[in-house]
Structure 1
Amino acid sequence: MSTTAPEEARTPSAPEGQLFVGLMSGTSLDGVDAVLFDGRAVRGHVHRAFPHALRDELLALNSPGDNELHRAALAANGVACSYADVVAQLLEATGHRREQITALGAHGQTVRHRPDGPLGYTTQLLNGALLAEQTGIDVICDLRSRDVAAGGQGAPLVPAFHRAIFGSDQQDLAVLNLGGIANLSLLFADGRTGGFDTGPANCLMDGWIARHRGLAFDADGTWAASGQVLPALLEHLLAEPFFAAAPPKSTGRDLFHLDWLDAQLPPDAAPADVQATLLELTARSIAEALGAQMPTAATLIACGGGARNRRLMQRLAELLPAARLASSADHGLPVDQVEAVAFAWLAQCFHEKRPGNLPAVTGAAGLRLLGCLYPA
């Protein structure tokens, strides 16, 4: 199991008056979440969808194509402009000036994640220099690369943060983030912390419903609930070696994309039945991973956009009867704010010269200061 000692998971507490902005755009490509964080609590939150053309280009850049370097550079500029617009909205909504913000923690948009091997890498598109110019605030970005350079997966980076805000010395509990990809943080009552990606959460379901019904996502899992799980297809999908691999491990659209699915589909599969099977794939892979790595979990706290999928939550509850299924909102943090706050927290770690990774989670050679700074 992938765990870390308690002393590695301590969270800094921002000095009085310091404010950090967290900016997150995840694998689901649903847009940008921005939060204002004082080291203890969220002072404000704004969400903005990506412009359609930028979203389409970011999705296309997950696959090889023509003129990628030029297109990626332009897309990185587009992400920076979108981030800057969201920051402006956040400051206006909360009544703060840019001079009051200590730093921005900006994730960028992942288009490649291939951390394995001596030449592993991870790519998040974002022009940090442009973001600093447009906001007039210190920008801390490229938060995954140093962990990868140290031999780690560069993901997940949130378990230490989850320990700080959700951890308990009374019970073993897990935090499940359901973005495009699903990842678990394992928070043991004795202070150990683990974490890893489990596989697809929304990325395949969103892609499938977009192809067949022109919708961005399956609201409440209604379309999936209308279909029947295809057992042979499900078992074939679950045979993907990633699911059986031991942590540390991480993944993304490099592996789980519609071409991967298409190569395994039976020719006569009804689209609704495929959607039902994809939801079951997400639920089963999570439940089996949690059962293997933390069978003692008393509580599973869900966050991310997929936590609003009622059918998915129902299946997780059915597959994990021994664990109480809860929302991060039940613990004081709305489901769409958790990851953005985590990147504000990582910016705080960088600002205070504290390491942000957990080597036993990512597999890195040691604790590392994560990110690079573009001063205002």
Structure 2
Amino acid sequence: MSGTSLDGIDGVLFDAQALVVTGHVHAPFSPALRDELLALNTPGDNELHRAALAANAVARGYADVVAQLLEATGTRRDEVAAIGAHGQTVRHRPGGFDGYTTQLLNGALLAEQAGIDVVCDLRSRDVAAGGQGAPLVPAFHRAVFAAPDADVAALNLGGIGNLSLLFADGRTGGFDCGPANCLMDGWIASHRGLAYDTGGAWAATGQVLPELLTALLAEPFFTLPPPKSTGRDLFHPAWLQARLKPGQRPEDVQATLLELSARTAADALKAQMPQARTLIACGGGARNGALMRRLAELLPGVQVQSSADRGLPVDQVEAAAFAWLAHCFVTHQPGNLPAVTGAAGRRRLGALYPA
């Protein structure tokens, strides 16, 4: 998995029967590849050529992570059923134009280099069936986090925040609720040259700007009913810049962006599952202590905990989810949930590149 945050590649070795991760490797993107992937989120010159080269680079990065996983765990290639490979999202427009989502990855090159069957392009079939193609993780969250006697919510705090609603009666809901880390990461990168705000420490030195927060919360996406999904197509630096006023201190803007991430997630949970008493957070944002504390403050009566408390470290959940989706593909099971994505029905997700 390499997500919207662009922090690199997380790979796991996943036992789909026991629902257990038995190995994990993280590999950051090189600065040049990260910059190019970020640039490809917006229109530019010579996009087809640049996107093809970036897709090759992502595939080689994935292959390196697979090789490291096999070595670290003492696993042979022929013991692995498939690689579930997400690719790098650079456009996500399921509801606009003719509806599409684009994840850069050369699946053929990954299969060639890894010597293992590759299941990729996991979102397109849901979009073809009229769905959002996202989020796809709620079905996996149900498999690993649901409780038979309580309504539980799971919140992935990646570049974008997405919420899974795991009802005790077996129903599952889910949707993207807004930006989690993407705006905060971009702001601290442009002002302090850092990839992210460790623990929310810089945000903690600022004060929330009420006028700016009101302007940010006025974005119509936040009041749209599910199913809905979003990405950097909407929440990008220009979106933020258009709402700033002269003289606002950078640390106050960072504090306001953290408040935006917490507020939109908390408001979404209150609106869609007000009876929830447990919220399980995962993704890189779950390591942001200031963000986690603010979520807890906004959700009195809700236990806000890390997925690590449930046996799955925060940086392994999404990679495990896409391994699980690959398992669904190779066992001829549907991977999407129409109640979540809005698709016309359940579909087998992915395309196969045989080894």
- 1:21-36 equivalence runs, <5 A: 24-36=1-13
- Which residue identity does 1:303 align to in structure 2? C
The counterpart of 1:277, out of the listed 236, 256, 262, is: 256
How much has 1:124 moved relative to structure 2? 0.2
- 1:32-181 equivalence runs, <5 A: 32-39=9-16, 40=18, 41-117=20-96, 119-181=98-160
How much has 1:117 moved relative to structure 2? 4.5
State the SS of the aligned residue for 1:272: helix
Q: Does 1:320 align with 2:299?
A: yes
Note the alpha carbon deviations across 1:146-186, whole angstroms, 9 max, x for none: 00000000000011110011101111110000000000000
The counterpart of 1:286, out of the listed 244, 250, 265, is: 265
How does the TM-score come out when normalised to structure 1? 0.93
Q: Percent identity?
A: 77
- Which residue identity does 2:284 align to in structure 1? G
Q: Distance between the aligned counterparts of 1:299 and 1:99, measured in 2?
A: 40
How much has 1:118 moved relative to structure 2? 6.7
Q: Distance between the aligned counterparts of 2:2 and 2:145, measured in 1?
A: 22
Q: Does 1:257 align with 2:236?
A: yes
- Which residue identity does 1:192 align to in structure 2? R
Equivalent residue number for residue 21 of structure 1: none
- Which residue identity does 1:97 align to in structure 2? R
Equivalent residue number for residue 222 of structure 2: 243
Equivalent residue number for residue 7 of structure 1: none
Note the alpha carbon deviations across 1:173-208, whole angstroms, 9 max, x for none: 100000000000000111111000000000000000
Structure 2: segments with no counterpart, 5+ residues: none
**Structure 1 residue runs of 4+, over 3 Å off?**
none
- Checking the alignment, whether the CA contact within 8 Å between 1:118 and 1:151 is kept in structure 2 is no
Note the alpha carbon deviations across 1:66-100, whole angstroms, 9 max, x for none: 00000000000000000000100010000111111
Q: CA RMSD in A?
A: 0.6
- Checking the alignment, whether the CA contact within 8 Å between 1:201 and 1:306 is kept in structure 2 is yes
State the SS of the aligned residue for 1:186: strand
Q: Distance between the aligned counterparts of 1:149 and 1:68, measured in 2?
A: 24
The counterpart of 1:304, out of the listed 263, 266, 283, is: 283
- Checking the alignment, whether the CA contact within 8 Å between 1:37 and 1:341 is kept in structure 2 is yes
How does the TM-score come out when normalised to structure 2? 0.99
State the SS of the aligned residue for 2:56: helix
Note the alpha carbon deviations across 1:211-238, whole angstroms, 9 max, x for none: 0000000000000010010001001100
How much has 1:114 moved relative to structure 2? 0.3
Q: Distance between the aligned counterparts of 2:301 and 2:226, measured in 1?
A: 23
Q: Does 1:199 align with 2:168?
A: no
Q: Distance between the aligned counterparts of 2:61 and 2:135, measured in 1?
A: 24
CA gap of 1:118–1:263, structure 2 versus 1, over 3 A, is closer
